[in-house]
Structure 1
């Protein structure tokens, strides 16, 4: 009887663990993408490969190009809508697909994907992708023209305060994974000219088209609004860098 009860307990325990991991995995999947996300039109052409999705600005008004790193474990397609919007504003955007969805293992591959020495690339990303974008800048002084960070407390383990690179950091007021206090704690490690901007009512998950991630807080604005606010700030930042040429 005791053996039977123990087996039932194990079955319940493993079932709950399996349900938890399945639920966790589903929150990291992209969802509710706009229907035209991957369609070609007169403003944007979409090219896909095993390593990236490129949203090519057909009427480019900006000489620079964007390299966008996905968040850790997240489906890279969750960032496709904002990448497309960036291209619609005249700036080609490359959304990088990381092996095993882990930017910390795969971030250096952009060195073989692009001619980074031509000085026209702006790098950034969301969450762990933002961390690895900042680390790439730390490890490769002078290679990137700009840095954008979304929903991250990094740089935390290294210092960029002595670097001269145009930088913007956007963080959600209600971010449960990179809290405002954590962002403020590490702000002195950012380049001194960094634009630090809070998205009022925004959280961590809505920087992408994702489910609500574990430990994140509920947002007070909807996904479309957070995406719009983020895009508006990024476009101003990108055009500012272009005007500095």
Structure 2
């Protein structure tokens, strides 16, 4: 005769089942979702090359000497930012989407020096969330190396002070961002480079800065993914065009 399961054993199985389902759901939100079909296709405007270290979206406009280094968010699939990087390239700026080891930008972020000669070109650097933090860290450690800094959906710089850096900077933040709230962004405003341009995306959230699922603790957006991406692209391109004139 089969032994009856104890209440403790039943509870343990239920707990483990829910825990496993929660982990799977949470991990799935960090994956790329709903990527446009042409994201990785070559055409007359953009060519795409993927390696172990980066996905490069090369612009067909050779006269533009300004290029972009993009750092992914923490734990996120780097491909979630591929549509954004492609749009940047379509507007004339070759964009290097950096693949971070273990999807963690805070570790070995300086590996980018091994496969891109940053000292030989004109680069703007930036990223989303934790990627924005490490882009700011790169500027802090290499104050004369980059032509501009862009930050998306992040409360950083928080632990470093860039207020004395003359570098052009833009920061995009959203009022529905549950991971980098407006209050947190404003708390650290004084640590940004002087004359930084802070732009609020009304109705946007943290997750829609990439093609991601809704991340844990993020708020629901009040605008579509397409609309948030459209506004993000517009402001980034305006920023980069202002730097292009000086390069």
Q: Same fold (TM over 0.5)?
A: yes
Deviation (angstroms), 1:211: 0.4
Equivalent residue number for residue 40 of structure 2: 38
Q: How far apart, in 2, do the equivalents of 1:237 and 1:27 lie?
A: 30
> For the aligned residues, what is the CA RMSD?
1.2
Q: How far apart, in 2, do the equivalents of 1:35 and 1:61 lie?
A: 28
Aligned match for 2:231, one of 229, 232, 237: 229
- Residue aligned with 2:47, SS: strand
Instruction: Say if 1:88 and 1:60 are closer, same or farther in 2 by CA, change over 3 A.
Output: farther
Given the alignment of the two structures, is residue 138 of structure 1 paired with residue 105 of structure 2, yes or no?
no
Deviation (angstroms), 1:62: 2.2
Aligned match for 1:153, one of 147, 152, 155: 155
Note the alpha carbon deviations across 1:41-85, whole angstroms, 9 max, x for none: 000000010000000001245211000000000000000001000
Equivalent residue number for residue 51 of structure 1: 53
Given the alignment of the two structures, is residue 127 of structure 1 paired with residue 129 of structure 2, yes or no?
yes
Note the alpha carbon deviations across 1:127-159, whole angstroms, 9 max, x for none: 000000001111111111110000000000110
Q: How does 1:67-146 map to 2 (within 5 A)?
A: 67-146=69-148
Given the alignment of the two structures, is residue 26 of structure 1 paired with residue 11 of structure 2, yes or no?
no
Q: How far apart, in 2, do the equivalents of 1:49 and 1:207 lie?
A: 23
Note the alpha carbon deviations across 1:7-64, whole angstroms, 9 max, x for none: 1111111111111111100000001000000000000000010000000001245211
Equivalent residue number for residue 176 of structure 1: 178
Deviation (angstroms), 1:193: 1.7
Instruction: Say if 1:153 and 1:206 are closer, same or farther in 2 by CA, change over 3 A.
Output: same
TM-score, length of structure 2 as denominator length: 0.97
Deviation (angstroms), 1:118: 2.4
Q: How far apart, in 1, do the equivalents of 2:180 and 2:48 lie?
A: 31
Q: How far apart, in 1, do the equivalents of 2:150 and 2:76 lie?
A: 18
Given the alignment of the two structures, is residue 5 of structure 1 paired with residue 7 of structure 2, yes or no?
yes
Q: Assess if the C-alpha contact under 8 Å between 1:152 and 1:183 holds in 2.
A: yes
Q: How far apart, in 1, do the equivalents of 2:6 and 2:222 lie?
A: 48
Deviation (angstroms), 1:114: 1.3
Q: How far apart, in 1, do the equivalents of 2:57 and 2:106 lie?
A: 23
Q: How far apart, in 1, do the equivalents of 2:5 and 2:190 lie?
A: 58
- Residue aligned with 1:147, SS: strand
Q: How many residues align?
A: 245
Aligned match for 1:194, one of 196, 206, 209: 196
- Residue aligned with 2:6, SS: helix
Q: How far apart, in 2, do the equivalents of 1:40 and 1:74 lie?
A: 24
- Residue aligned with 2:11, SS: helix
Q: Assess if the C-alpha contact under 8 Å between 1:119 and 1:143 holds in 2.
A: no
